[in-house]
Amino acid sequence: MNGIKNMEKSTVLTLREQVSCQPGQVVSKTLAQNSALSVTLFAFDKGEEISTHESGGDAFVTCLDGVGRITIDGESYELHEGESIVMPARHPHAVYGQEQFKMLLVVVF
């Protein structure tokens, strides 16, 4: 099992400061990944998106900053700072930066 990477250990951190929004881009930073779990920070510029796809695991999203729109099975949900949603495994979903938007994604396989 691999540990946490790309973050200082034994240091108090603010997650939203660990990834930066870039013009016209979706930026990601992987913190952990193995066969059972994936933990990634994302930063979306306003209007950027990850188009509709499916995942083999349940995807738990927490909004760290801004406003994002999560679409699951064609239904849209607006996510604000501190709010979370689970995108169930094998259901089509997409993520859109309604404004600049940062999120923590934890996928459990």
- Render pLDDT for 4-39 as a digit per residue (tens, 0 to 9): 999 999 999 999 999 999 999 999 999 999 999 999
pTM, two decimals, is 0.96
- Render pLDDT for 29-84 as a digit per residue (tens, 0 to 9): 999 999 999 999 999 999 999 999 999 999 999 999 999 999 999 999 999 999 99
User: How many whole angstroms separate alpha carbon 83 and alpha carbon 9?
Assistant: 25
CA angle, corner 42, sides to 97 and 79, nearest 5?
Answer: 45
